[in-house]
Amino acid sequence: MSTPLTQLSEDELMFQQAIRDWAQKEIKPKVHDMDKNSKLDKDIISKAFELGLMGIEVPAQYGGSEASFTMAILAIEEIAKVDPAVSVFVDVQNTLVLNAITNFANDAMKEKYYPKLASEWVGSYALSEPASGSDAFALQCKAEDCGDHWKLNGTKLWITNGDEANFYIVFATIDPDAGYKGITGFLVEREFEGFTVGKKEDKLGIRASSTTELILEDCIVPKKNVLGEVGKGYKVAIETLNEGRIGIGAQMIGLAQGAFDNAMAHMLERKQFGKRIADFQGLQFQYAEVATRIEAARLMVYNAARLKDAGKPFVKEAAMAKLYSSQVAEYAASKCVEFHGGVGFTTEFPAEKFYRDAKIGSIYEGTTNMQLQTIAKLLVAERS
């Protein structure tokens, strides 16, 4: 697969290749066991920190890589070609947790948490609740002002990296009757009194990526750990998720490419009726279509990332990239199972895992319908 050279600089191409080599050499041999055991390998986690992948945009003075958002997107894509579960582990750390801190934390917070997150602490982003999914601000998790601290009570669900994390951005409401104007973001450490990681979900796909419940029972949070302003957490959540959607887009194009690369290798090797199955026109038309859709989705994701790095409006492009790349991932993964024939339905080949992993793309960080709604609103706004 050729990379669009007009889109990537020499440094970006070198970085991309380095992550590709690591993923192929060290992640690939462990994919099956991680999926089977529903757990990330500890050495993979350690190596991600060692390579600087858990603090890609963190300034060098705090121990980070001080690279661009686009670099983070490239890393997420390359890892997803081998294992989308490891990819989303890196994705949440960079596009949600660290972006929220970069954009909304004060200097004291950055001094305290940047070095930890860049070197050893896994971060998690806790917005969803039992009654709060697409209706993101229907939060029941309550924050009570207790003078010198906040007290949080409630339950969070479907929290990525929940099992591995040491640090959580938790959203709660100071006043349920205030709607979105009551939402506030809090920086919560795993060891805070009253904080517990609950059950871990048993999932269809991205099984090695932990998805957990968080339980807050009179959880004590220092006053200084409010992220942004009290009652302005909706702004933190919205702006961070806008960036996070580009990360999911990168995960999905990586997944699609990984499935396609494996399928092409199989079609070039497998022979039927005296010739390679890749040489049958019926299959040629199908895999040419898959390759074209992947390339289109990749350009959309890269474009959204470039706009974000340039400080230009990107929300519509991010929603479009997330929408389309998730559709392409499902389409490509399904086709690639078929390209393998019967063996594609077995766990001996990676096709079935890519197929299982693909489904989440149209659900988390904004469902397909929510992306369509966002795109429609912005299209109308542009013309009003």
Token pair belonging to 302: 């890269």
Which positions are annotated as active-site residues? 365
Please tell me the chain's helix, strand, coil percentages from 3-state DSSP, rounded to the nearest 5: 60, 15, 25
Pairwise CA distance, residues 293 & 14, whole Å: 25
Token pair belonging to 152: 């949080």
Pairwise CA distance, residues 260 & 105, whole Å: 40
| CA–CA distances in Å: residue 73 to residues 264, 271, 318 | 24, 37, 12
Sign of torsion, CA 227 221 166 211? negative
Instruction: State phi, psi for 39 to the nearest 5 degrees.
Output: -155, 135
Continuous segment of H or E residues that includes residue 124: strand 123-126
Pairwise CA distance, residues 58 & 94, whole Å: 9
Is-contact 78 20, C-beta < 8 A?
yes
Is-contact 213 176, C-beta < 8 A?
no
